[in-house]
Chain A
Amino acid sequence: MKLNVKSVVVLTSICVVVSALLSVTNFFTAPVIEENKAAAASASLTVVMPDAEGFEEIELPADAPATVLNLYKETSGLGYVALLATTSQYSSGDMGITVAIGADGCISGVTLTSYFESKDFGSDYPQTYVGADSALNGIDTVSGVTYSSTAFKEAILDAFDVLINSGAVAEGEKSEEQLILEAIPVALPGCADSLGSAQVEAIDAKGFVAAYAATNGCGYVVAAATDAGTVVCGINAFGDVNCVDLEGNPAEGPVDEVKAAFPILAEANAENNLKQAQKAAGDDAVLTALDSVPAYGCVTGGFTAQVGEDTYYVFNTKPYGYANEIMEMAVVLDADGKIVNYRTVSELILHEEYYSSHELTDKEAYKNQFVGLDSSTYSDDVTMVAGATCTANAVADSINSAFDAYKAVKGAN
Chain B
Amino acid sequence: MKKSAIFLKGLIKENPVLVLLLGTCPTLATTTSVISAIAMGLAATAVLVCSNMVISALRNIIPDKVRIPCYIVVIAGFVSVVQMLMQAYLPDLYDMLGVYLALIVVNCIILGRAEMFARKNGVVDSALDGLGMGLGFTIALLLMATFREVVGAGTFAGIEIPLLKTYNIPILVASPGGFFAFGCIIALVAKLTNKPKEKMGCAGCPSAEACGKLGCTKEEKEENVNA
Q: Interface of A with B (CB < 8 Å)? A: 3, 6-7, 10-11, 14-15, 18-19, 21-22, 25-26, 28-29, 32-33, 36, 40
Contacts and interface: CB of A to CB of B under 8 A. Distances in A.
Contacts of B77: 18-19, 21-22
Interface size band for B? 20 to 34
A10 B81 CA distance: 21
A54 to B, nearest CB: 19
A33 B95 CA distance: 12
A26 B74 contact: no
Contact of B89 (A18, A21, A32): A32
A81 B98 CA distance: 29
B186 interface: no
A33 to B, nearest CB: 5
A66 B99 CA distance: 30
Interface in B19-70: 58, 61-63, 65-66, 69-70
A21 B73 CA distance: 12
Nearest to A28: B88
Interface majority SS on B: helix, strand, loop or mixed?
A: helix
The 9 lowest CB-CB distance pairs between A and B, nearest first, are A18-B77, A29-B88, A32-B88, A7-B66, A29-B84, A7-B63, A25-B81, A36-B91, A11-B66
Nearest to A5: B63
A19 B76 CA distance: 10
B87 interface: yes
Contacts of A14: 58, 62, 70, 73-74
Nearest to B85: A29
B80 interface: yes
Given A14-B74, A15-B73, A18-B73, A3 B85 contact: no
Contact of B63 (A6, A19, A26): A6
22 contacts: A3-B65, A7-B65, A7-B66, A10-B62, A10-B70, A11-B66, A11-B70, A11-B73, A14-B62, A14-B70, A14-B73, A14-B74, A18-B76, A21-B77, A21-B81, A25-B81, A25-B84, A29-B88, A29-B89, A32-B88, A36-B87, A36-B88
B80 A22 contact: yes
Contacts of B87: 29, 33, 36
A130 B63 CA distance: 68
Interface in B74-122: 74, 76-77, 80-81, 84-85, 87-89, 91
A29 B73 CA distance: 21
A25 B73 contact: no
B69 A11 contact: yes
A11 B71 CA distance: 10
Contacts of A6: 63
Contacts of B58: 14
